[in-house]
Amino acid sequence: MMTLTRRTLTAALLALAALNAQAQDKPPLKILVGFPPGGSADVIARIVADALRDDFNPVVVDNKPGAGGRIALNMVKVAKPDGQTVIVLPSGPMVLFPHVYKKLDYDAVKDFTPVSQIARFQFGVVSGPATNVKNVAEMVAKAKSDPANASYGTPGAGTLPHFMGVLMEQSAGISLNHVPFQGGAPANNALLGGHIGYKFDVVSETAEFHRTGKARIIAVTGSQRDPQVPDVPTLKESGVNMEATAWFAMYGPAGLKGEALARLEKAMMKLARDPAIKDKMVKLGLEPIGSNSADLAAAQKADLARWEKPIKATGVQLD
pLDDT values of the chain reduced to their tens digit, one per residue, 319 residues: 445 566 665 555 555 544 444 445 899 999 999 988 988 899 999 999 999 999 999 999 999 998 889 999 999 999 999 999 999 999 999 999 999 998 899 999 999 999 999 999 999 999 999 999 999 999 999 999 988 889 999 988 888 899 999 999 999 999 999 999 888 889 999 999 999 999 999 898 889 999 999 999 999 999 999 989 999 999 999 999 999 999 999 999 999 999 999 999 999 999 989 999 999 998 888 999 999 999 999 999 999 998 998 888 888 888 7
- Asked if 284 and 130 count as a contact pair (C-beta separation under 8 A), the reply is no
Residue 165 contacts residue 310 (beta carbons within 8 Å)? no
Other Cβ atoms within 10 Å of 89 Cβ, number = 26
pTM over 0.95: no
CA separation, residue 164 to residues 98, 102, 120, 198, 244 (Å): 17, 21, 16, 12, 8
Q: Are 260 and 82 in contact (CB under 8 A)?
A: yes
